[in-house]
Structure 1
Amino acid sequence: MLTVRTGRKSLVTLGAFLSVGALVTGCTPEAENSNAQPTNASVEGNQAEGDKVVIGFSGPAADHGWLGAINTAATAEAEKYGDIDLRVAEGTNDANLQISQVEQFINDKVDAIVLLPTDGAALTPVAIQAMEAGIPVINVDREFSSPAAARTTVLGDNYGMGVSAGEYICKELGGDDSAVVAEIAGIDSLPLTQDRSRGFTDALEACGLDVDNRVAADFTVQGGEAATSQLLSAAPKIDAIWNHDDDQGIGVLAAIDNAGRDEFIMVGGAGSANAMREIQAGEGVLKATVIYPSTQAADGIRLARLIVQEKAMSDLVEVKVPKRVVLNAPVVTGENVDQYLPTAFES
């Protein structure tokens, strides 16, 4: 045992001993770095194969391009990792059926569940049930009504989409406070639609504009065409339109063509490849679209793996995966469309 006395001479002697020891055994920062091992918060540690992770994935029916891209991206992401066993439930728009799918995942004792709910509120109780069973739930796109229902939530920025669309229109209309602005929303009962409309209204208000005409569709081509026909009949003059969804935008553009209207500019939403090609051509009313990432479920798959393996996100100092991740909502125009088109989804 080494006994250290408190006298000045002893302290000096001990200090000299430690200094010599440091000279003998000490490493330079470069040497330390060369011997550093990957951690669970490093890029190498994130990528390193770990224990097998069984992930259950359930989402709505892929009845339009964005949802199809969500499912495809999730599956493709899982295939990148040898330690992921992905169990995919059949897509459905029936909340009760989706509840039973999650219950089956719980019974199967999967390690994590990635869930894009048909209805966030309706799926909240069964998600809480999974969490209480010790199965982390990663909530994607449509938010649960209780924070207790998810370990991590991955969202597109719906409010930000509205803000981005509104700011673009404000800029393009050049401060003309007499301009007529129209909005073609998605499904009004969904919180995501409400958030998009709120962001749009707030952005327009900042430049002295408001929404003069508004209709809601249902995220389908047929619904977009019907709602737009109604809008155009009711509004003989329009300067700008924001359509929330590029899939329903196919019907929106068809209605515009049928009506022979071209006096306005139009902004889309979500960022489909066909919308971007229309923007790239620069010949029609569609001048921009706002990205709503179709990578959300893929991000959920990756985060589920990190959570189960007790890893962290390598670009963060925090040693745990965040509770909430909100993705960006950039505007795609003719100037930057080439950057976004390669990763866009097909409608």
Structure 2
Amino acid sequence: MQAARMSGRRQLVTTAAFIAVGGLVLTGCSSGEETSSDPTNNSVEGNQAEGDTVVIGFSGPAADHGWLGAINSAALAEAEKLPDVELRVAEGTNDANLQISQVEQFINEGVDAIVLLPTDGAALTAVATQAMEAGIPVINVDREFSSPFAARATVLGDNYGMGVSAGTYICEQVGDQPDAVVAEIAGIDSLPLTQDRSAGFKDALEGCGLEVNNRVAADFTVQGGEAATSQLLAAAPKIDAVWNHDDDQGIGVLAAIDSAGRDEFIMVGGAGSANAMREIQSGEGVLKATIIYPSTQAADGIRLARLVVQDKAMSDLVEIEVPNRIVLNAPVVTSENVEKYLPTAFES
């Protein structure tokens, strides 16, 4: 009987707490004559409602490989879906000085927002800060600025997380072999994103007692991947697992592996290209997995720029403003889940 009374008391306390919290939520979302059923700036209806036209300037690097091409095309496609967005696209460039002039042009034109995937985050920090000081919110994509004052919001892939995902998968596959030989084919070593990927990989491998035994760096191109892998294979007569940071350069990596006639190891890719996923799906080669690095980042930036300018927020969050930092997930794609990710993958 006492247990029943205690149970009832807990239920009353829980119900009261729920009512109190519910009252706070309704109060926090209300203003003026608005009722709890009215659309708010972070409701689905309020988020999607067409508002005043938002002019967005978009600048990114030259689309010299598949992932960057997918970044650009996804941004354009997303803008086309939004009737209240006017997108002005600067020509893709790998010249930081030219990109600085593009942003300066956007500032002079008085655009409402700028979505910027910088060729070099540090080099573009000053002009991005200039835009922010002019009252133009900047959405920083993929490569971070060196100052928090240079962007209203930042959308990033999880580079460290990519390394962790790759290392964790390799631990699952060969971690029971204490003498397993692990190789790494990185991208451009001078880039912070490459350094983050390598750091995450190293940390994950330590969890199962492994380490990187052989490492080379390429340049995110097919030619660079093939040359670096040929060098790696010549230096390492035995390998148990390889992580290649980038599926675009992975085309060259796989070509070098094929030329060398090596198949004693498993390989993990990076970024999540469609051709890598089809290779995984076939089950015929050394490539067994790839780690997603989303090519939706600039498209996400377009959506966030619209929300910021229209004073809206993300409909799946209680928060009434757009977050200032969003880090996307880095899942592992294998033969078991490849069909889920293949439809949205980019072509290398």
Same fold per TM (> 0.5)?
A: yes
Contact 2:122 2:145 in 1 (8 A): yes
CA distance in 2 between counterparts of 1:315 and 1:255 reads 45
Residue of structure 2 equivalent to 1:192:
193
Q: TM-score, normalised by structure 2?
A: 0.90
Write the letter of the residue equivalent to 1:313.
M
Moved over 3 A (4+): none
CA distance in 2 between counterparts of 1:58 and 1:203 reads 35
| SS of residue in 2 equivalent to 1:93 | coil
Residue of structure 1 equivalent to 2:247:
246
CA distance in 2 between counterparts of 1:250 and 1:52 reads 42
CA distance in 1 between counterparts of 2:309 and 2:269 reads 37
Map of 1:206-217 to 2, 5 A cutoff? 206-217=207-218
Residue of structure 2 equivalent to 1:67:
68
Cα 1:110–1:236 change in 2 (3 A) is same
Write the letter of the residue equivalent to 1:333.
T
CA distance in 1 between counterparts of 2:235 and 2:254 reads 17
CA-to-partner distance for each residue in 1:208-258, whole Å, 9 max, x for gaps?
Answer: 000000000000000000000000001001000000000000000000000
CA distance in 2 between counterparts of 1:256 and 1:222 reads 13
| SS of residue in 1 equivalent to 2:122 | helix
CA-to-partner distance for each residue in 1:240-297, whole Å, 9 max, x for gaps?
Answer: 0000000000000000000000000000000000000000000000000000000000
Q: Does residue 300 of the first structure (1) align with residue 301 of the second (2)?
A: yes
Map of 1:74-113 to 2, 5 A cutoff? 74-113=75-114
CA-to-partner distance for each residue in 1:7-36, whole Å, 9 max, x for gaps?
Answer: xxxxxxxxxxxxxxxxxxxxxxxxxx9982
CA-to-partner distance for each residue in 1:121-156, whole Å, 9 max, x for gaps?
Answer: 000000000000000000000001111110000000
CA distance in 2 between counterparts of 1:194 and 1:311 reads 35
| SS of residue in 1 equivalent to 2:237 | coil
Residue of structure 2 equivalent to 1:5:
none
Structure 1: runs of 5+ lacking an equivalent: 1-32
Write the letter of the residue equivalent to 2:246.
D
Q: TM-score, normalised by structure 1?
A: 0.90
| SS of residue in 1 equivalent to 2:242 | strand
Residue of structure 2 equivalent to 1:6:
none
Residue of structure 2 equivalent to 1:278:
279
CA-to-partner distance for each residue in 1:43-96, whole Å, 9 max, x for gaps?
Answer: 111111001100000000001000000000000000111110000000000000
Residue of structure 2 equivalent to 1:138:
139
CA distance in 2 between counterparts of 1:320 and 1:176 reads 49
| SS of residue in 2 equivalent to 1:317 | coil
CA distance in 2 between counterparts of 1:153 and 1:189 reads 21
Residue of structure 2 equivalent to 1:56:
57
Residue of structure 2 equivalent to 1:262:
263
* 1:40 positional shift: 1.1
CA distance in 2 between counterparts of 1:34 and 1:264 reads 62
CA distance in 2 between counterparts of 1:241 and 1:210 reads 12
* 1:175 positional shift: 2.1
Map of 1:108-127 to 2, 5 A cutoff? 108-127=109-128
* 1:169 positional shift: 0.1
- Give the length in aligned residue pairs: 316
CA-to-partner distance for each residue in 1:305-347, whole Å, 9 max, x for gaps?
Answer: 0000000101111100001000000000000001100000001
What is the identity percentage for the equivalent residue pairs of Structure 1 and Structure 2? 85
Write the letter of the residue equivalent to 2:193.
L
CA distance in 2 between counterparts of 1:34 and 1:208 reads 58
CA distance in 2 between counterparts of 1:336 and 1:82 reads 35
Residue of structure 2 equivalent to 1:236:
237
Contact 2:141 2:301 in 1 (8 A): yes
Write the letter of the residue equivalent to 2:144.
E
| SS of residue in 2 equivalent to 1:237 | coil
CA distance in 1 between counterparts of 2:342 and 2:83 reads 30
Residue of structure 1 equivalent to 2:316:
315
CA distance in 2 between counterparts of 1:222 and 1:36 reads 58
* 1:38 positional shift: 1.3
Structure of higher CA gyration radius = 1
Write the letter of the residue equivalent to 1:163.
V
Residue of structure 1 equivalent to 2:328:
327
* 1:174 positional shift: 3.7
Write the letter of the residue equivalent to 2:79.
A
Contact 2:175 2:210 in 1 (8 A): no
CA distance in 1 between counterparts of 2:331 and 2:217 reads 23
Residue of structure 2 equivalent to 1:19:
none
Residue of structure 2 equivalent to 1:346:
347
Contact 2:175 2:209 in 1 (8 A): no
* 1:119 positional shift: 0.4
Write the letter of the residue equivalent to 1:298.
A
Residue of structure 2 equivalent to 1:7:
none
Write the letter of the residue equivalent to 1:343.
T
